[in-house]
Chains A and B, each alone.
Chain A
Amino acid sequence: MPIEVDGKSLEVDEEGYLANLNDWVPGVAEVMSKEDDLELTDEHWDIINFLREYYEEYQIAPAVRVLTKAVGKRMGKDKGNSKYLYGLFPYGPGKQACRYAGLPKPTGCV
């Protein structure tokens, strides 16, 4: 079932991840979060933008442990913990935030 973003219909997979990563625009995160009844704040966007930058630079989504460490370093120790990240993204930063940020679906490893 495609999602409607900025008047365009974008294809997503069974779990709601973008089928084509190049389709991503900020509106994707807005539409997806609305479906989850979540209102995106600046704090959410800090994480989403961080994930996009990380992916752009390293071509992988960071493991939650790596994300936590990097967020703590960049945004302050009080934010560098999984409690903070799960507070923002209750379905898990690895899954939910990556989906909003238009990163590839995690393979389900570990």
Chain B
Amino acid sequence: MKYAIQINEGPYQHQATDSAYHFAKAALDKGHEISRVFLYHDGVNNSTRITSPPQDDRHIVNRWAELAEAHNLDMVVCVAAAQRRGIVDDGEAERNGKDATNIHPAFRISGLGQLIEAAIESDRLMVFGD
């Protein structure tokens, strides 16, 4: 099965990204494919590299990044949602005149078309959120 995953909620505040992570891991372990992980709404906050949770808690961003590295996952952050919430890469910093970036290199900022495309090309779109 080829899955696309959409995450609609931010880290720590909400379980959606944890559920999505465990789903992705289980699916990959069973030999399924994850064609794309798309962060939308507050879900874009799962991509900031400057997150620092306490040592005795899971590191949600790094955990996604490690999974992405191990399985070559395409992790996409919605540009419009990212602009509203201050998730910035080099291109966006230049385009919008911002003095810093905060995106983790495991993620890339792109358009909503990537979500539609993933939904078209995968067998199932899994939406995690409220």
Contacts and interface: CB of A to CB of B under 8 A. Distances in A.
A15 B95 CA distance: 7
Contact of A110 (B83, B94, B97, B112): B112
B13 interface: no
Contacts, number: 23
Interface residues of B, number: 10
Contacts of A107: 79-80, 83, 111
A13 B95 CA distance: 9
B77 to A, nearest CB: 12
B96 interface: yes
Contacts of B83: 107
Q: Would you call the interface of chain B mostly helix, strand, loop, or mixed?
A: helix
Interface string A23-50: 0000000000000000000000000000
A13 B113 contact: no
Nearest to A108: B79
Interface of B: 79-80, 83, 94-97, 111-113
Interface of A: 13-15, 107-110
17 contacts: A13-B96, A13-B97, A14-B95, A14-B96, A14-B97, A15-B95, A107-B79, A107-B80, A107-B83, A107-B111, A108-B80, A108-B95, A108-B111, A109-B112, A110-B111, A110-B112, A110-B113
Given A107-B79, A109-B113, 11 more contacts: A13-B96, A14-B96, A15-B95, A107-B111, A108-B79, A109-B79, A109-B80, A109-B111, A109-B112, A110-B111, A110-B113
10 A-B pairs closest in CB distance: A109-B111, A107-B80, A14-B97, A110-B113, A110-B111, A109-B112, A108-B79, A107-B79, A109-B80, A107-B83
